[in-house]
């Protein structure tokens, strides 16, 4: 990795304040006897202030920009840092604070604007109760500009996914995985204490605070005859992307989480809650240890077959309770595999996997058995048996000498 890991006349900005909660969001809730207000503008109110779409937005509603252009008089656009379903993240220069910032410019489509307002609400709630170990990205401000919700964040480094990718997916040292895991679990525990469920934990949504790295000999040649690997100078990370975050008391959609990190109870239609985040954490830790996503699939039956290959048979009581949409994956209380496979390649993809302990042992010294034990606790099929974030943080793996 030779390069660094880094990724018109404005209208008057309106300052809007709200004293009502959005549909489905409780006015307030209790935590340890403390009143916590998490509020956001309802979409019906917000739309009163929405300007017509810009003619030069692209067909998908993305903001079309030029380098050096102003995003309001305050922010100068320096470049694009990333792009996703929600919109684009732009690196900007803040003329007021004289600092670099990252601005998430949301697509000018109602459902993405509504999701952005939920994210703003969550970010405000997290900031209000911020702790030293929250490890959540800080929102500096937000505004509505030409029909685009713009959320201004502190500028951070690359995501863990980008770092792995630019490092040729070389596995990370177990001590670094420990530091990342501890911070991630502290962030999840903090959110769960506030009765918030992230629902989309993945390496793409975990950012290094700094882009600085060091080169170390790898001990073997990797792709392109490169015989070194890169490690971040700092292990500090922050969690981002709260657009899918859900309050525990809200109605839960049937499908959440990015496929590779989706818990079995979601696939089986059994309902989900806090434990789905811990399953995702388990998948992330395996990926950091091995350099590869644990469950590389895009189809439910194959995904369940991979889970059984790595973790053993699904519990019968979960199979019995599977909703009608998931019943087709089973025959006589067992997974319909390989009979139901869509292709021979699908069968081969499952066979290439191994038991979890063997997958980890290829990259982690056998003396680090506490890591394997932690992973089995995070990847329990039954969400009721899965470790909570607080329990996981007390696991021996996080002892300094483990």
- pLDDT tens by residue, the chain, 402 residues: 444 343 333 333 333 333 333 334 343 333 333 334 444 444 444 444 444 555 578 889 999 999 999 999 999 999 999 998 899 999 999 999 999 999 999 999 999 999 999 999 999 999 999 877 799 999 999 999 999 999 999 999 999 999 999 888 999 999 999 999 999 999 999 999 999 999 999 999 999 999 999 988 876 555 555 677 889 999 999 999 998 999 998 878 888 999 999 999 999 999 999 999 999 999 999 999 999 999 999 999 999 999 999 999 999 999 999 999 999 999 988 999 999 999 999 999 999 999 999 999 998 886 668 999 999 999 999 999 999 999 999 999 998 644
Q: Which entry of 162, 200, 241, 277 is annotated as an active-site residue?
A: 200
Note whether 381 and 313 are within 8 A (CB). Answer: no
Number of neighbours of residue 131 by Cβ within 10 angstroms = 11
Q: Give SS3 for 213.
A: strand
Indicate the burial class of 297 (C-beta count within 10 angstroms; 0-12, 13-18, 19 or more).
buried
Give per-residue burial for 346-358: e unless 16+ CB within 10 Å, then b: beebbeebeebbe
Note whether 354 and 294 are within 8 A (CB). Answer: no
CA-CA distance, 276 to 266, in Å (whole number)?
8
- Closest among 37, 38, 41, 35 to 22, alpha carbons compared: 41
Q: At what angle do helices 275-290 and 174-193 cross, to 10 degrees?
A: 170
Residue with tokens 């770092």, as numbered in its chain: 163
Q: Give SS3 for 164.
A: helix
> Which residues, other chains included, contact 345 with Cβ-Cβ below 8 Å and sequence gap of 6+?
none
- Closest among 114, 131, 235 to 174, alpha carbons compared: 235
Active site residue 200: yes
Note whether 297 and 304 are within 8 A (CB). Answer: no
Model pTM greater than 0.75? Answer: yes
Pseudo-torsion of CA 397, 264, 261, 142, nearest 10°? -110
* Phi–psi pair at 103, nearest 5 degrees: -115, 120
CA-CA distance, 66 to 80, in Å (whole number)?
10
Residue with tokens 């009163």, as numbered in its chain: 48
Give the domains, in start order, of the chain with CATH numbers: 29-154 (3.30.200.20), 160-398 (1.10.510.10)
The number of C-alpha atoms within 13 Å of 35 and in the hemisphere containing its C-beta is 4
Note whether 132 and 184 are within 8 A (CB). Answer: no
Helix H or strand E segment including 211: none
Number of neighbours of residue 10 by Cβ within 10 angstroms = 13
């Amino acid at each position: 990795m030779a390069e660094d890991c880094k990724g018109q006349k404005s209208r008057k900005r309106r300052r809007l304040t709200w004293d009502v909660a959005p549909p489905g969001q409780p006015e307030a809730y209790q935590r340890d006897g403390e009143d916590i207000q998490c509020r956001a503008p309802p979409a019906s109110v917000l739309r009163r202030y929405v300007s017509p779409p810009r003619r030069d937005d692209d067909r998908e509603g993305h903001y079309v920009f030029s380098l050096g252009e102003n995003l309001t008089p305050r922010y100068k656009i320096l470049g694009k840092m990333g792009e996703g379903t929600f919109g684009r993240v732009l690196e900007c220069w803040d003329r007021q604070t004289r600092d670099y910032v990252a601005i998430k410019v949301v697509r000018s489509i109602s459902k993405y604007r509504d999701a952005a307002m939920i994210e703003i609400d969550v970010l405000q709630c997290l900031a209000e109760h911020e702790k030293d170990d929250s490890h959540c990205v800080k929102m500096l401000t937000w505004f509505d500009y030409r029909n685009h919700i713009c959320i201004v964040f502190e500028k951070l480094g690359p995501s863990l996914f980008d770092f792995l990718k630019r490092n040729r997916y070389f596995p990370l040292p177990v001590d670094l995985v420990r530091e990342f895991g501890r911070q991630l679990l502290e962030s999840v525990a903090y959110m769960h204490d506030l009765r918030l469920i992230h629902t989309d934990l993945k390496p793409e949504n975990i950012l290094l605070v700094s882009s600085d790295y060091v080169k170390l000999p790898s001990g073997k040649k990797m792709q392109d005859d490169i015989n070194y690997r890169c490690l971040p100078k700092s292990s500090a990370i922050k969690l981002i992307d709260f657009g899918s975050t859900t309050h525990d008391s809200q109605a839960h959609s049937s499908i959440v989480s990015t496929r590779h990190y989706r818990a079995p109870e979601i696939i089986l239609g059994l309902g989900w809650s806090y434990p789905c985040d811990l399953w995702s954490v388990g998948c992330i830790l395996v990926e950091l240890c091995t350099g590869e996503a644990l469950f590389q699939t895009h189809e439910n039956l194959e995904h369940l077959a991979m889970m059984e290959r790595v973790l053993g048979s699904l519990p019968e009581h979960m199979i019995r309770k599977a909703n009608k949409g998931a019943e087709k994956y089973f025959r006589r209380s067992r997974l319909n595999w390989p009979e139901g496979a869509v292709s021979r390649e699908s069968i081969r993809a499952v066979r290439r996997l191994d038991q979890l302990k063997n997958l980890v042992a290829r990259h982690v010294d056998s003396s680090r058995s506490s890591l394997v034990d932690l992973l089995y606790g995070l990847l329990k099929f039954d969400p009721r048996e899965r470790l909570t974030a607080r329990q996981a943080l007390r696991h021996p793996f996080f002892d300094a000498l483990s």
